[in-house]
Amino acid sequence: MAGQISEADQIKQFKEFLGTYNKLTENCFLDCVKDFTSREVRPEEMACSDHCLQKYLKMTQRISMRFQEYHIQQNEALAAKAGLLSQPR
């Protein structure tokens, strides 16, 4: 059973994903779609939405990297404090 995600956790993760997706969609739509006189998506709107999504993905990746770096530093500091490392980096 170890390593398996419970059904409740899967549902929670899916709800979080949907919340993030919906918020991203809403933000990019509000920023990019300005003309409601046509049913067609204008090239400018498509480019804007692509840029919006790419910016969000890059931001999310950068935050994840910084979060990992922070935790590595914290773990090294704790290990050094406990005397497990000779010197912190």
- Domains of the chain, by residue range, sit at 7-82
Measured CA distances, 57 to 5, 54, 63, 85 (Å): 25, 5, 10, 36
Fold of the CATH domain 7-82: Helix Hairpins (1.10.287)
Report residue 1 as tokens. 């059973």
Q: What is the residue type of 56?
A: Y
How is 17-71 classified by DSSP, letter by letter? HHHHHHHHHHHHHHHH----S-SSPPHHHHHHHHHHHHHHHHHHHHHHHHHHHHH
pLDDT digits (tens, 9 = 90+) for 65-87: 999 999 999 998 888 888 765 55
pLDDT digits (tens, 9 = 90+) for 9-35: 999 999 999 999 999 999 999 999 998
Task: Tell me the whole-structure pTM to 2 decimals.
Answer: 0.65
